[in-house]
Structure 1
């Protein structure tokens, strides 16, 4: 459901590769959401949230190191967006997940896809332009 598009490419191999992995996690989440054969998805939803948290922390660390290396002038605001994303994922209420698993998973997916696609197309492309201008 969530397709990687050429417009998401930063031209920075490691970052594009990690962004693609985030889309893979979203697609696995969507498959779970649509799987009517699994009636209790609680454990899997928690696993997805944890996987997303772990991978985002890894990716953000890679991206932030790159931004420091190029002396990106908007590093602090970029890092702040990463921190807000992690904070949102960490605020997951396990009781809310258990009460309505599909709805909760859909909310996480909507938040994630809206954030990641918007972040890549706006904020990440800004540092790409910055990097290209200093070369």
Structure 2
């Protein structure tokens, strides 16, 4: 498994502000997870854990809604690939066992962090980059 820090940089931007804003939020949530893990989840509250899960669920849903609207409007030819990736992330987030997260936050958050890293790496650097170039060619920024 590769590891990277959840630090936003120009290199991960796709060039479409609304999509980059969604991705930045995922990085922000990833950074929150990183901070809890760096502190070995000492004194982590159920509220903090629930907030992470709720934020991930909200942004995954909003990202799907936003990207599907853009794909439809601009007739993106690789819609299936984008949808598959987005729905895989959503399924992963929806399958988070809240009880397990509360019982073993370090183990559950480590797994969640790895899943999020894999998604962000593949999705942002490959799929969203390509989608961004396509939208840029259509005049969307």
Interval containing the TM-score (normalised by the shorter chain): 0.7 to 0.9
Is it true that 1:84 corresponds to 2:88 in the alignment? yes
In the alignment, which residue of structure 1 is the partner of 2:28? 24
C-alpha deviations, 1:71-129, integer Å up to 9, x for none? 00111231122111111111112332233211111110111022112201111122223
- From 55, 65, 75, the counterpart of 1:71: 75
5+ residue gaps, structure 2, are none
Secondary structure in 1 matching 2:75: coil
Cross-structure match for 1:126: 130
Q: Which has the higher contact order (CA 8 A, sep 6+)?
A: 2
Which segment is superposed worse, 61-70 or 40-49? 40-49
- 1:105 — aligned with what? 109
Runs of at least 5 residues in structure 1 that lack an aligned partner in the other structure: none
The separation in 2 between residues aligned to 1:11 and 1:128, in whole angstroms, is 6
Whole-Å separation in 1 of the counterparts to 2:32 and 2:77: 35
Moved more, 16-25 or 93-102: 93-102
CA shift, 1:37, in A, is: 7.7
**SS of corresponding position for 1:104:** helix
Give the TM-score taking structure 1 as reference length. Answer: 0.86
Q: TM-score normalized by structure 2? A: 0.82
Of 48, 52, 55, the match for 1:48: 52
Q: Contact (CA 8 Å) 1:8, 1:117: kept in 2 or not?
A: no
Give the structure with the larger helix fraction: 1
| 1:39 aligned partner | 43
